[in-house]
Structure 1
């Protein structure tokens, strides 16, 4: 791992269609990213279904800072830095649950669900002018869109709606996976890999690797499904949506899950359709079955979350050469048990330690990190595919590296600020 004594000028590391491998290896660059990107822009922290009731909480991260996403007694969402204002000990180590308050285990400072300091042992020893209202937990600014909760330390950050921009319509399309029911989280796989966070960020809108890295996944499918996922010669595309966001459309006919519902139901979903017909009309059956199969695109939201076909993929930078990943399955809140069960089976087919996708992805991410460890000045190419003007920004072939260029343009803008 390289650790240069002086920061490297970010503008020298990205030239528009290539980067320097120093970006994956240099500790000073990583430290600057945590300050200039993760502490200053909107970072995804949770889905509102993870904190459904008053008192519900979920541990999450904003860059290197552990945070608590909690719904208070008024029903409002708060995102609190997970550290006591006294000596910085974490006040919560439970990943998810329900509580009426938080208490520091070190010296007993107690906090309400909105982070305000409620009590502490022997407060008189701080003097008569000690004002508890000034010593609450650090509260981050938070906003949400379609149930996706984002937070930032930057009070001057643009509104979340503006930051998401054209990506919002793709989030709207992604949420049609509720099949008429609200989208909810169903569980998740967690793992880490020994590589830089940007290696994973690049992957989400990289179709070029799919038929190579995921050959075993394609071979595990029936012929009909294999044909659906053989999209390199199709009408798909990658588009830059601004602010580092991008979308990769792989299966255009599955972009809007509520369109063309009279299309034949794929063979792999016929048994599910028959089960659903026992309690649902044909129109609803087709809508649910279509939603179960997932959307035909990956949406990358800079810097840390993706709406990836049928799940949320969340990255967390741990160290310059370590990244933690969460793959969160989604389903239908109050929807048919059979539909949610099949959603989980499809999720497991690709994700997790026994899945056909994630282990192969993490292997090549690690290989990129190992290969980048030497020849730090040699350039890494992100120049595949020319860009034309799309609806919202530059657009290229489905295998183009347009999404990577989109992310690195935002990276350079924030790192040069």
Structure 2
């Protein structure tokens, strides 16, 4: 039997061994030590607004049901019948009063309680329904973001998010005064390790190179806005593996600078909105349509990325599923939500300019990392001028790899927690 890989030998302060992208034993350790012992994002509140609503998703490799019961309480339960392990729900989303296993008909409530067993007399007193609910995970919510964990002893979500919370609040201002809602998604897989994608959302250094075709597709005003490598943006370590990459500082708080000129690309939208909304509200809506000026990485699986949610799910050491979830204004003007969808399609969509180019880069990282042995992946950009704020946060310029180092510090802490103690 092979010895397990030692994470401490694979990760340094500013570099990592290339095997972190491909070692199957390391991957198995990650699924146990990270995805079973951290808060994992599973849903947005708008995906299950009413009692009886549910979605199915995953916590690491584990299929789960996220449901809202009759009292309005959200539950996250393993999608596994307690009888013979069949999944009890195969729909992506819907509304129901119960979940019934299609194999033998065991029925569970929205809270996971076992409600009915066909021909229960066949157990002759050997079955107590109260002892066999669907297995539930711990669930907590912050500003519409719903997280779950297998770890009953983990710190509260509020503490886990910590210094990332103000950035979540800023991101949610994209509702322009209305609640934020999800508006559909597209999903794809790429042949690479999940950490390659985790790195990407906090990597501004690649933008003018990988996304040159996108920049060529937009007007000059937009190009100027997105030429941010030499600007005043920054990357900041927010603790617990979370980080924020501020690319367009003037779009950090969408409630500010409402007197700024409306970009030319939104002039037609603004003219339509002026028929029904006051000038200040029009400007607020237009700013929200353009999205926030930052990417917020929440370790290990969620990015609040400028104007959408990016969710990663590891499938194997060398395969990852990505979901790009469009968001909009719940109750806001439909014309504004449609504009957001068009912008989403332009960059994130499967026929857009951004996602295909990113996926090609991730694929190349995976393939290249298999070349040679004992060759480091560098994580040292911006380290020489990294500084510390009064609250202790490390930060550097917008092209720095500060966010990657933050994520890998948390990765190492999780991978070595309790080892040797």
Same fold (TM over 0.5): yes
Residue of structure 2 aligned with 1:364, choices 361, 366, 380: 361
2:186 counterpart residue number: 189
Q: Is 1:72 aligned with 2:65?
A: no
- Post-superposition offset of 1:264: 0.4
- Offset from partner CA, 1:46-69 (integer Å, 9 cap, x none): 001001111111111100001111
Q: Aligned pair in 2 of structure 1 residues 187, 343: CA closer, same or farther (>3 Å)? A: same
Name the SS for the 2:34 alignment partner: helix
TM-fit CA distance, 1:111? 0.4
* More displaced 10-residue stretch of structure 1: 121-130 or 249-258: 121-130
Q: CA RMSD in A?
A: 0.9
- For structure 1, which segment, 118-127 or 207-216, has the greater mean C-alpha deviation from structure 2 after superposition? 118-127
Q: For the residues of structure 1 that align with 2:323 and 2:62, how far apart are their CA atoms? A: 16
Work out the CA distance in 2 between the residues paired with 1:98 and 1:383. Answer: 49
| Structure-2 separation of matches of 1:134 and 1:78 | 17
- The aligned counterpart of 2:13 is 16
Give the Å deviation of 1:200.
Answer: 0.2
Residue equivalent to 2:395: 395
1-structure distance, mates of 2:131, 2:257: 57
Match of 2:254 in 1: 257
Give 1:108 shift.
Answer: 1.1
2:266 matches 1:269: yes
Q: Which residue is 1:133 aligned to? A: 130
Instruction: Provide the rounded CA distance (Å) in 2 between the counterparts of 1:96 and 1:375.
Output: 45
Partner of 1:408: 408
Would you identify which runs of 4 or more consecutive aligned residues in structure 1 move more than 3 Å? none
Q: Deviations over 1:310-359 (max 9, x none)?
A: 00000000111110000000000010011000000000000122100000
Q: 325-334 or 85-94, which moves further after superposition?
A: 85-94
Alignment-derived partner of residue 116 in structure 1: 113
Report which stretch shifted further, 123-132 or 229-238.
123-132
SS of 2:261's equivalent in the other structure is coil
Cross-structure match for 1:351:
348
Alpha-carbon distance between aligned partners in 2 of 1:308 and 1:355, rounded to the nearest angstrom: 16
Corresponding position of 1:313: 310
**Runs of 5+ unmatched residues, structure 2:** none
User: 2:160 is matched with which residue?
Assistant: 163
3-state secondary structure, aligned to 2:243: strand
**Residue 129 (structure 1) shift:** 4.5
Does residue 210 (structure 1) correspond to residue 215 (structure 2)? The answer is no
The alpha carbon displacement at 1:376 in A equals 3.6
What secondary structure is seen at the aligned counterpart in 1 of 2:137? strand
Return the match for 1:227 from 224, 227, 246: 224
SS of aligned partner of 1:139: coil
Partner deviation per Cα, 1:212-258 (whole Å, 9 max, x = no partner): 00000111110000000000000000000000000000000000011
Aligned to 2:293: 296
Q: How many residue pairs end up in the alignment?
A: 414
Unaligned runs of 5+ in 1: none
Q: Distance in 2 between matches of 1:64 and 1:318?
A: 7
Q: In 2, are the aligned partners of 1:193 and 1:362 still within 8 Å (CA)?
A: yes
CA distance in 2 between partners of 1:321 and 1:212 (Å): 25
Q: Per-residue deviation at 1:22?
A: 1.0
Correspondence for 2:92: 95
Structure 1 residue 115 displacement after superposition: 0.3
TM superposition shift of 1:377 = 1.7
- Helix, strand or coil: the match of 1:151? strand
Supply the distance in 2 between the matched residues of 1:24 and 1:263 (Cα, whole angstroms).
Answer: 44
Q: How many angstroms apart in 1 are the aligned matches of 2:342 and 2:234? A: 28
CA distance in 2, matches of 1:218, 1:87: 53
CA shift for structure 1 position 101:
0.6
| 1:166/1:392 contact within 8 Å kept | no
> Is the contact between residue 241 and residue 392 of structure 1 (CA under 8 Å) also seen in structure 2?
no
Rounded to whole Å, the distance in 1 between the matches of 2:320 and 2:271 is 42
Given the alignment, which residue of 126, 147, 150 partners 2:144?
147
TM-score (norm 1): 0.98
TM-aligned CA deviation for residue 392 of structure 1:
4.7
Q: Is the 8 A contact 1:144 1:160 kept in 2?
A: yes
Q: Distance in 2 between matches of 1:210 and 1:28?
A: 33
